[in-house]
Amino acid sequence: MAEGPSMTAAERVAKTLLDEHADILREAVTAVVAQLMEAEISTEIGAGYGEVSAARLTHRNGYRPRPWETRVGEIELLIPRKRSGEAYFPSFLEPRRRSEQAIVAVVMEAYVNGVSTRKVDRLVEQLGIHGMTKDRVSALCRALDAQVAAFRSRPLEGAYPYLWLDAKIVKVRSRGHVYPKALVVAYGVHESGRREVIGLDIGETESESFWVAFLRSLRERGLAGVRLAISDEHTGVKHAIARILACPWQRCTVHYADLPIMPIWGLEPAAA
């Protein structure tokens, strides 16, 4: 994914997640594929784990490990085994299928825009996986949602001298209708030099009150040591920065499409 002025907020977050939080995404992908394998093996066996069923054909017989290379790193799969019959092989590992890309994309989208059964249903349909009942899809979403919530509410330790703030209007389905809402993103440079996404949220509008609440939530999680905040010229975010962070502000260089990106205090800024 190329850097540049044309990148959306969601694309920049996804790229930063891949660059700086591959371990977090790897854990989430591992949890998702475990649920997908459980659905497939249950269908082949004729019963779920521990389920009493007259349709049962055989029983589980432990697991066999298998490494799986993905764009978020190597994952150690635990593939279920059967006591009898043809050995189970996960369908998403079949050659010439772009399953890995689809699975990782859904996980990244969950971190950016939230988790929904609709997205998981689309993934299951795309992969051609059978045995994913509504209850199992809901369980997968709850497990993924818990990981996303833990990432988004994690404590922020140490100082973050440079903070980038950005927003993108996205369409969100709520109560059976689609509404335009503001996806706001905060990512900063830690004092150790590490860049990371430190905050994500969805608001009704990109208003000053919403930005104030968002920045306060970052402060409550431990955000400290901000020496410079970078954003576009939206009045609401500028006032919120002055009110909550009380630090210098600079307009994001990406919004100067015709101007060169200049270093800030000796640090080359990333695209905001």
The architecture in CATH of the region 162-255 reads 2-Layer Sandwich (3.30)
Residue type, 75: I
**Can you read off the two tokens belonging to residue 154?**
């994690």
Looking at per-residue pLDDT, the higher value among 176 and 202 belongs to 202
Task: Report, as an integer, the average pLDDT of 72-84.
Answer: 93
Q: Which of the residue ranges 6-10, 27-31, 67-71, 129-133 would you say has the lowest mean pLDDT?
A: 6-10
The domain limits of the chain are 9-152, 162-255
| Residue 7 neighbours by CB distance under 10 Å | 18
CA 129 to chain centre: 23
For the chain, the residue count is 272
Q: Please, how many CA atoms are within 13 Å of residue 57, restricted to the half-sphere of its CB?
A: 10
Tens-digit pLDDT profile for residues 214-253: 999 999 999 999 999 999 888 999 999 999 999 999 987 7
| This model's pTM is above 0.85 | no
Distance CA 186, CA 233 (A): 16
- Look at residue 265 and tell me whether its pLDDT is greater than 70: no
